[in-house]
Amino acid sequence: MAIPTTHLTEATETPAEPAPPPVTPRSHGYCSWHEGYAWGVRPVREWDEGSGPAQRGLFACPPCRLALDLVPLGDQV
């Protein structure tokens, strides 16, 4: 008895492509600790002078935050 081959088809679909890596927001700005511009700066200290909507404070880059044990404002409890 012969097996019908009409139900056997080759997979014509291409394999699913891997998802792109998640986009991590990064900001470029001035690091108040090493006094230079860097990627990934985050605010670690802030103050309000009441002179407008601009955020005032001190920002730190990842290497300075790690070396000086600085916690970004968004991560403080």
Tell me the per-residue pLDDT of 19-33, one tens digit each, with 9 for 90 and over: 766 655 668 899 999
Q: How many CB atoms lie within 10 A of CB 48?
A: 8
- pLDDT score recorded for residue 15: 64
Q: What local confidence, expressed as pLDDT, does residue 13 receive?
A: 58
Q: How far apart are CA 46 and CA 18, in angstroms?
A: 41
pTM: 0.58
pLDDT value of position 69: 95
- pLDDT for res 19: 73
Per-residue confidence (pLDDT) for residue 8, from 0 to 100: 52
**Residue spans of the chain under pLDDT 70:** 1-15, 20-26, 48-55
